[in-house]
Structure 1
Amino acid sequence: MLVLLGLVLGIRGAGAFLVHVASSCPLANNGSALDFDFTLVFNKNPLVCYEPDARRFTPCDWGLLRPYATVLAAILNNGTAWVQRAEARRRACRDLVPQFWSSTVLRLTPPQARIISSKTSNTRASVLLTCHVWGFYPAEVTVSWLHNGNVVGPGDHPPTSAIPNGDWTYQTQVTLMVAPTAGDTFACSVQHASLEEPLLEEWSPGLTPGLTVKVAVATVLMVLGLSFFGVGVYCYRGKPPAPGYTPLPGDTYPAGSI
């Protein structure tokens, strides 16, 4: 690498530069390694490439740096250090790929879904439903709408397309314009390889199922609270006064209680 830096610094008019080593393992659909690449790169331009079959470096620049690449390849082939370094990365590629393949590409991560509603200015379809689906892997997913249990036609919503999140998961969303009436139920159905049965996220006009449960619980608690309060007041009113108590005008107690 020091030799390469010396060559670069010797180029007339050279300014800022970056030299790095890049290696990769192209894979087949079944996870097996198809090839192995080991390259010395100068300013994003491949300079010297390693040939695994021949176990030697060759110049891979066909521009102005071709003479320098040829000299550098000869220097790297003259010793064994760089060849051993390239072969070590080749073995690591062969040995580590199966482990990472099973924990990344072959994994199944189930999706999550939520429906968000928003008002529109369209009098014929006053509500826009958006079904957000996220956190799933692999990217293949099918999202459809159900209206009162019936599948809405393909023409009513766009095809599903997955967008990578950057953390090996994907997200997507589909929309539906509706004019809901009382009793209507809309559902977002998500089909994915990680699910044994479709994931259903429901929406209906008015309170959501979650809010309905909360309101019902609050009502029951309020009724119980008022009941206990009434019983307490009744017991308090029926309790005889303490000895020596002089009843106030209007107080009535059973005969002989004082």
Structure 2
Amino acid sequence: MESFTCLLLLCLLSTSVVDCSFDRNGYFMFADFWCAAPSRNPEEVVYLVDWYFNQQLTMQYNSTVGKWTGFTPGGFITAHAFNKDEHDVLQRKLERQLICHNNVGLLYNETEENMAEPSISLHAVHTVSSHDIMLICSAYDFNPKYIKVMWLRNGQEVTEGVTISEVLSNEDWTYQVHSYLELTPDLQDGVSCVVEHATLREPKIYKWDSSLNWSDRGYISGGVCALLLGAAFLCVGVSQYRSKRCTST
């Protein structure tokens, strides 16, 4: 089975580390606790703590390295202080044992029971620019929550012009997510949406058919409209001609 990551829905695991404080705008300090389990082997479980301040990731604890790593000036200072605190070091080890190590089998069992392979749709829509299109790759009704959606163009990963929504709950045990790619179509391009999920043995590739780009479609649509309009005028002209002949006769 592919590796998966289980988000432990905990807000306050330790009062000495996490302060889930409120202000008028909601949380200003909080932490996410994770168990990353690549297999059922408890020894391979990685325990992670992501610490946020004002919605910015300031530092992270990783059981693989056994310490906190700071990402902001304030995070560097706090991480250094926690790494020197013997009680905090011991507490993180106990948390990994109690939360992840002892429950990895339960986490896998619960996840496997509710697993659902994503349904994928790939389509294009017009953008404000007449030369560009927006490709939308959507994944529906999948579980577990973690999923990766990426774009390839001629075999190379595309990052420019890409936006992705948050993973949205369907208000049951399944989720959906949408990824958007804006580009100027080219007949020579091979554009694909790639989806990776725990239910898939290997990444699934969904190719967009660019054999008929949007400008060609516009010309064809315009030509069809002109043809229909011409046929309408021809019918009217023929009717009037026949009417005049009948009158003269």
TM-score, length basis structure 1: 0.43
Q: Which has the higher strand share?
A: 2
Q: Considering only CA atoms, is the larger Rg found in Structure 1 or Structure 2?
A: 1
User: Which structure's relative contact order is higher, taking Cα pairs within 8 Å and 6+ residues apart?
Assistant: 2
TM-score of the pair, normalised by structure 2:
0.44
